[in-house]
C-alpha cells in the first residue's frame, strides 16, 4: 500500500447527520472550519453510492446545485456531498501554508465520515479544475475511492499543457493577479472560461456570472483567500502520484478550453492506468455550465458502469 495514505481511524471521524438535508453544516478539521452539505437518496431509499463534489479555484460548493438536482432525479439511490475548499465559500480559516495535499485531507475526512454513517465502504470523487488536482492527490492515497471523475484539470508538473502563448517557467513564478474590481475587466477575464459558441449564445448568463464575481470579490478577505488557493496550486505537480490512482477514472475536457487546454486530459490518460477521456466539442472550461445535460449524462453513465 502506498505511503502517506489518507485513512482516518473510526474514532477520529465525527458523527454526521445523513438522515436529512439540513443545508450548510460545519466541522472543525486541522485548523479550518469546513463548510459542506449532504443530500441523501430520494424518497428515503437506501443509499448505495456516495459522490463527493470538489469545486475549482475560488468557487463555492453551491455551483453544484443544478447538477445535484439533475443527478439525484436520475439516480435515486445516490447521495452527494459537496464542500467548500479552504479559501472559498463558507469555509473559514486554515489558510496558513495552504496546499493541495491539505485540501485533499479535508475531502477525505468528510467523505470517510459520511461513508461510515451510511455504512458504505467506498465512495466516488468528482473534481473540477483545482478540485481535480485535489481529487488526484486524495484518490492516489485513499483506497476507499471507488471511482474518480476529473473535469477540466491537469496533472501539473512537466506534464501540464499551458494555454498558447503562456511561458511555463514564468507563470509558475508569477504572483497572484487580484480579481478585477470593474465590470469590463472582469468580463474579459471571465469570458476566457467559456467556449466561443457559448459566449455567442449566452451573453446574459456570462454577464450574470460577472456580476456575481464582482460582488463576491468585493468582500474584504476575498482576495487573500484566492491568493492562498493560487499559491497552493500554481506549481502543482501530481505526476508522481497518478500511477497510484488505480480506480476507474473518467476525464472530461472541453475542446476549446483556454484555461486548462485539452492536452492536459491526454496527459492524465497517459498517467492514470484506468482512465478514459470524453471531449465536449466546442466547449470551454466550465462544462458544468456550458453543457449541463451532457455533463450529467456522462457522469451518470460512468457511475452506473462502475461495478460496486
User: For 42-53, what is the mean pLDDT?
Assistant: 94
Q: Is the pLDDT of residue 2 over 80?
A: no
Domain presence at residue 194: no
Per-residue pLDDT tens over the stretch 247-273 = 999 999 999 999 999 999 999 999 999
Residue of 191, 128, 125, 190 whose CA lies nearest to 154: 128
Cβ atoms within 10 Å, residue 57: 18
Q: Is the pLDDT of residue 125 over 70?
A: yes
User: For 181-210, what is the mean pLDDT?
Assistant: 95
Domain presence at residue 3: no
Q: Is the pLDDT of residue 37 over 60?
A: yes
User: For 125-140, what is the mean pLDDT?
Assistant: 98
Domain presence at residue 61: yes
Q: What is the predicted pLDDT for the residue at 43?
A: 85
Q: Is the pLDDT of residue 1 over 50?
A: no
| Average model confidence (pLDDT) across the chain | 94
Rounded to whole angstroms, the Cα distance separating 279 from 14 reads: 39
Q: Is the pLDDT of residue 20 over 70?
A: no
Whole-model pTM?
A: 0.96
Residue of 87, 85, 97 whose CA lies nearest to 138: 85
Q: What is the predicted pLDDT for the residue at 292?
A: 97
Domain of 93? 10-168+237-305
Rounded to whole angstroms, the Cα distance separating 232 from 102 reads: 10
Cβ proximity of 154 and 132 under 8 Å: yes
Cβ proximity of 305 and 146 under 8 Å: no
Domain presence at residue 123: yes
Confidence of residue 282 (pLDDT cuts 50, 70, 90): very high
Per-residue pLDDT tens over the stretch 146-178 = 999 999 999 999 999 999 888 888 888 888 999
Q: CA 67 → CA 116, 138, 278, distances in Å?
A: 25, 22, 18
User: In the beta sheet, which residues pair with residue 126?
Assistant: 53, 149
End-to-end CA distance of the chain: 21
C-alpha cell at 302: 460512468
Domain presence at residue 226: no
Rounded to whole angstroms, the Cα distance separating 58 from 231 reads: 12
Q: Is the pLDDT of residue 33 over 90?
A: yes
Per-residue pLDDT tens over the stretch 3-15 = 589 999 999 999 9
Confidence of residue 301 (pLDDT cuts 50, 70, 90): very high
Q: Is the pLDDT of residue 240 over 70?
A: yes
**Number of separate domains in the chain:** 1
Cβ atoms within 10 Å, residue 224: 12
Domain presence at residue 15: yes
Counting residues of the chain whose pLDDT is more than 70, the rounded percentage is: 97
Q: What is the predicted pLDDT for the residue at 168?
A: 80
Q: What is the DSSP string of the chain?
A: --SS-----GGGSPP---S---S-EEEEETTEEEEEEEE--GGGPPP-EEEEEE--TT--GGGGHHHHHHHHHH-TTEEEEEEPPTTSTT-EE--TT--HHHHHHHHHHHHHHHHHHHT-S-EEEEEETHHHHHHHHHHTT-TTEEEEEEES---BGGGPPPPTT--HHHHHTPPP-PPPSSHHHHHHHHHTTS-HHHHHH-HHHHHHHHHHHHHHTTSTTHHHHHHHHHHHHTT-B-TTTGGG--S-EEEEEETT-SSS-THHHHHHHHHSTTEEEEEETT--S-HHHHSHHHHHHHHHHHHHHS--
Q: What is the predicted pLDDT for the residue at 307?
A: 66
Backbone angles phi, psi at 168, to 5 degrees: -60, -40
Domain presence at residue 219: no
Rounded to whole angstroms, the Cα distance separating 22 from 284 reads: 34
Q: Residue 300's domain is classified under what CATH number?
A: 3.40.50.1820
Per-residue pLDDT tens over the stretch 63-121 = 999 999 999 999 999 999 999 999 999 999 999 999 999 999 999 999 999 999 999 99
Domain presence at residue 190: no
Counting residues of the chain whose pLDDT is more than 90, the rounded percentage is: 89
Amino acid at each position: 500500500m502506498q505511503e502517506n495514505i489518507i485513512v482516518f481511524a473510526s474514532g477520529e471521524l465525527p458523527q454526521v447527520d445523513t438522515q436529512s438535508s439540513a443545508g450548510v453544516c460545519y466541522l472543525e478539521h486541522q485548523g479550518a472550519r469546513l463548510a459542506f452539505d449532504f443530500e441523501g437518496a430520494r424518497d428515503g431509499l437506501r443509499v448505495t453510492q456516495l459522490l463527493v463534489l470538489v469545486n475549482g479555484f475560488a468557487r463555492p460548493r453551491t455551483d453544484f446545485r443544478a447538477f445535484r438536482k439533475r443527478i439525484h432525479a436520475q439516480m435515486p439511490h445516490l447521495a452527494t456531498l459537496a464542500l467548500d475548499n479552504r479559501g472559498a465559500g463558507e469555509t473559514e480559516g486554515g489558510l496558513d501554508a495552504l496546499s493541495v495535499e491539505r485540501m485533499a485531507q479535508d475531502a477525505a475526512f468528510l467523505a470517510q465520515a459520511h461513508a461510515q454513517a451510511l455504512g458504505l465502504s467506498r465512495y466516488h470523487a468528482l473534481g473540477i479544475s483545482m478540485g481535480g488536482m485535489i481529487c488526484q492527490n486524495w484518490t492516489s492515497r485513499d483506497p476507499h475511492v471507488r471511482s474518480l471523475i476529473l473535469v477540466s484539470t491537469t496533472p501539473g508538473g512537466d506534464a501540464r499543457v499551458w494555454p498558447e502563448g503562456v511561458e511555463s517557467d514564468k507563470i509558475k513564478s508569477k504572483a497572484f493577479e487580484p480579481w478585477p474590481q470593474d465590470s469590463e475587466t472582469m468580463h474579459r477575464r471571465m469570458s476566457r472560461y467559456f467556449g466561443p459558441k457559448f459566449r455567442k449564445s449566452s451573453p446574459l448568463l456570462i454577464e450574470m456570472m460577472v456580476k456575481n464575481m464582482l460582488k463576491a470579490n468585493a468582500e474584504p478577505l476575498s482576495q487573500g483567500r484566492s491568493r492562498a488557493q493560487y499559491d497552493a496550486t500554481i506549481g502543482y505537480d501530481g505526476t508522481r502520484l497518478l500511477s497510484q490512482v488505480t480506480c476507474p477514472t473518467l476525464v472530461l475536457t472541453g475542446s476549446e478550453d483556454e484555461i486548462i487546454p485539452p492536452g492536459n486530459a491526454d496527459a492524465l490518460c497517459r498517467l492514470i492506468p484506468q482512465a478514459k477521456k470524453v471531449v465536449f466539442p466546442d466547449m470551454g472550461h466550465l462544462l458544468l455550465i456550458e453543457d449541463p445535460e451532457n455533463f450529467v449524462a456522462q457522469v451518470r453513465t460512468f457511475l452506473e458502469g462502475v461495478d460496486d
